Structures are given as structure tokens and as C-alpha cells.
Amino acid sequence: MSDIAISDIEAIRSRFQADIDTASDLSSLDAIRVSALGKKGEISMMMRGLGKMSPEEKTVMGPALNGLKNDVAALVDIRKTALENEALDAALASEMMDMSLPVSRKNGTLHPVQQVMEEMAVIFSDMGFSVAEGPDIEDDFHNFTALNFPPGHPARDMHDTFFMVPDSDGQQKVLRTHTSPVQIRTMMSQKPPIRIIAPGRTYRCDSDQTHTPMFHQVEGLVIGEDIHMGHLKGCLMDFVSAFFETDVDVRFRPHHFPFTEPSAEMDVRYERDGASIKIGQGNDWMEILGCGMVHPNVLTACGINPDVYQGFAFGMGVDRLAMLKYGMPDLRDMFAGDPRWLGHYGFSPLVQASLESGLS
């Protein structure tokens, strides 16, 4: 008979069980596992002794040692799960957040550009527009060609375009110079009647007090069977009065854009009051947007029959309108990311712009 007996195995099992049950953390539990089942662990060494036993002893001790090994492994697993759950419960208790606490206004504000875009969405959705989007990195077709800028047309140069490195297939993408490509994407994927606005970032290689290389526009597009210039004027006049929350006198000046015919720019009446600007009345005019009736070539490029459908489009600079409405003096501050500026000019993220309760 070898020097280990069945009674020893029982004693070893109880000893390990007691150690495992009182292990206080995962690392001490693992130390116990190694001391029992590791390469040089107590139980592993005992199993190694089986080779030197007589066949009769082996038939008794083999299953007994195997049982011991499996039991200890199972006890370790159970304790491990329990310790992991305890750790999770402790973390949940100590990292608890009270979702019912009031929010601190200091923790963040809506950027005025975001605020103004939301105000515009509120006004235009009240007029039945939905919001469309397109990519900032555009191809030449959507940014220029389909908008009736033929290749080599001088109007392309006026856009101060940022060009991307050409793709492997030789295609040279651009950072969109305006939100008008979203007109094209919308007309190619939707059937008239169409009534959308498209807010977003636009890019031109230009930088001074009143220009930043990245700026924001909101595009508008309305297509139907009986849309005319009167709809364009009424829509935009209603828009500016709603936006500036006062009666605003406007005028339309003839202009040129390749993608609209006729084209116009819309000015609003304003006056200077010391350092600030009052929109609505006064003797001076300020240009705030470009607009016009969608050119038949643009409709055709999008697969829309210009003999059946027509419509109008407009595009306005959001940053400019935000500065006018909320009195920010320098465009470049808008994108400097200074928390003091954001704290001063930012809006509460918890107050939603609405026509009923007021836009701002």
C-alpha cells in the first residue's frame, strides 16, 4: 500500500475547500489553485505518484485522486464567479450615478451655429420642409458639373476649391464648396414634389476677418409642377421674419449662379446702433443669401423633366446669420473653441428651439 490513503484524500479535500471558501480576492484564490493543481501543486504531485503504485492500488487511488482534482477545480471556479460578482457589485455601488440630480448649466453649451441651424430647421419644418444631408467630401459631378458648371467654366475658379489627392482611379474629389450638391443628391434619389433643407459644413480656401476655410450653409430646394418665383420670395420673406423674430424688410437683387435662372441675392434692411446692428429697419442693406429658380440643365442632369417640373433653391451662410442675430463681432472666434467664448455665447442644450415658446 502506498503512503496515501483514502482518508488522506478526504482531509486534503476539506482543507482546500476551507481555503477556497475563505479566499478574499481573485489573486489569493489563484495562488490556492496553483498550490493544488499547478505543475508542482500538491494534487498534481500526488497524481504523479500513481505511476509507482501497484495495479490494485491504482484502481482505488486513480479515480479517487481524479475526483479530488475535479472537485478542487470546480470549487475554484465557483469561488471565482462569486468573487467576480462581488467585485462587480462593489463597482456598481461605488460608481453609481444619480440620474435624478439637476444638470449643471456649466457643463456644456450648444454652439451658436448649432443653435441657429436648429432654429432654421424649426422654421422650415413648420413650412413642410424635411432635412437632407450629403457628404463633406464630394465628387466633381455633384459639386460642379451637375450644377451646370461645365468643365473649365470660370465660375469654378471663383469657388477657391480645396482639392483632395486623386484616388487610385484618377478621380479627384473636393471638399464641397457649398451645400448645393445636396440638391443634386436629393433630386437623383427622390421624385418631386421635393421640399428639403440641407444644413452642413462647406469649405473654401479663404481666410480673413469675415471668411474662414470652413463655414456653414443651409441649402433649400423646392420642386413641384407649379412652383414659381412668388413662392421663392414668400418663403424667404417669411423665413427672415421668423428667424429674426421681428418684421424684416427685404429686397431681391438680380445676380448670377450657374445653377439657377433667374438668380438673385436677398438683402435685409438694417441699421447700426453704436457697436451693434439692428436687423429689420434702417437705411442700409445687407446681403444674407443667394437664391433663384432651378436651372433646366440642373433638372435634366438629375433626370427630372424641366417641361413638367420647376422649382427654387436658396443657400445661406449660417455663421453670418448667427453673428447678426446674436451679436458676435468676429467670425474667427466662432471656431477657436475657447470655452470662455462658448460659455458666453453658447445656448442651453436643454431648451429646445420652438415656434411656440420662442426660438432662442
Residue numbering of the annotated binding site for Mg(2+): 261
Q: How far is the CB of 169 from ligand PHE (least distance, A)?
A: 28
Give the C-alpha separation, 192 to 153, whole Å: 29
Nearer to ligand PHE, 109 or 179 (CB): 179
Q: Which residues, other chains included, contact 44 with Cβ-Cβ below 8 Å and sequence gap of 6+? A: 36, 37, 38
Query: Does the footprint of ligand PHE cover residue 149 (CB under 6 A)?
Result: no
Q: What is the residue type of 224?
A: G
Nearer to ligand PHE, 173 or 216 (CB): 216
Query: Does the footprint of ligand PHE cover residue 290 (CB under 6 A)?
Result: yes
Q: How far is the CB of 187 from ligand PHE (least distance, A)?
A: 13
Give the C-alpha separation, 319 to 213, whole Å: 12
The 3-state DSSP class for residue 111 equals coil
Piece in contact with ligand PHE (CB under 6 A), picked from 44-52, 228-236, 267-275, 284-292: 284-292
What torsion do the CA atoms of 247, 252, 256, 260 make, to the nearest 10 degrees? 70
Query: Does the footprint of ligand PHE cover residue 315 (CB under 6 A)?
Result: yes
Piece in contact with ligand PHE (CB under 6 A), picked from 239-247, 269-277, 313-321, 323-331: 313-321
Query: Does the footprint of ligand PHE cover residue 313 (CB under 6 A)?
Result: yes
- Give one DSSP letter per residue of 115-177, joined into a string: HHHHHHHHHHHHTT-EE----SEE-HHHHTGGGT--TT-HHHHTT-PPBPPPPTTS---EE-S
Do 218 and 197 form a contact (C-beta atoms < 8 A)? yes
Nearer to ligand PHE, 109 or 202 (CB): 202
Annotated binding site: 261
Query: Does the footprint of ligand PHE cover residue 314 (CB under 6 A)?
Result: yes
Site string for ligand PHE, 1-40 (x = CB under 6 A): ----------------------------------------
Nearer to ligand PHE, 291 or 302 (CB): 291
Nearest to 320 by CA among 311, 310, 331, 312: 331
Piece in contact with ligand PHE (CB under 6 A), picked from 166-174, 190-198, 246-254, 289-297: 289-297
DSSP bridge partners of 311: 223
Q: How far apart are the first and last CA of the chain?
A: 93
Nearer to ligand PHE, 112 or 317 (CB): 317
**CB atoms inside a 10 Å sphere around CB 42:** 15
Nearer to ligand PHE, 32 or 266 (CB): 266
Piece in contact with ligand PHE (CB under 6 A), picked from 5-13, 70-78, 193-201, 285-293: 285-293
* Residue at shortest CB range from ligand PHE: 315
Pick the binder of ligand PHE from 134, 258, 292, 311 (CB under 6 A). 292
Residue 252 backbone phi and psi in degrees, to 5: -110, 125
- Give one DSSP letter per residue of 8-52, joined into a string: HHHHHHHHHHHHHHH--SHHHHHHHHHHHHSTT-HHHHHHHGGGG
Nearer to ligand PHE, 60 or 155 (CB): 155
Please report, as residue ranges, which positions from 245 to 274 form the binding site for ligand PHE (by CB under 6 A): 257, 260
Query: Does the footprint of ligand PHE cover residue 291 (CB under 6 A)?
Result: yes
Please report, as residue ranges, which positions from 170 to 189 form the binding site for ligand PHE (by CB under 6 A): 178, 180
Nearer to ligand PHE, 23 or 218 (CB): 218
Give the C-alpha separation, 247 to 141, whole Å: 40
Set of cell numbers at residue 257: 449662379
Q: How far is the CB of 120 from ligand PHE (least distance, A)?
A: 14
List of residues contacting ligand PHE (CB under 6 A): 178, 180, 219, 257, 260, 290-292, 313-315
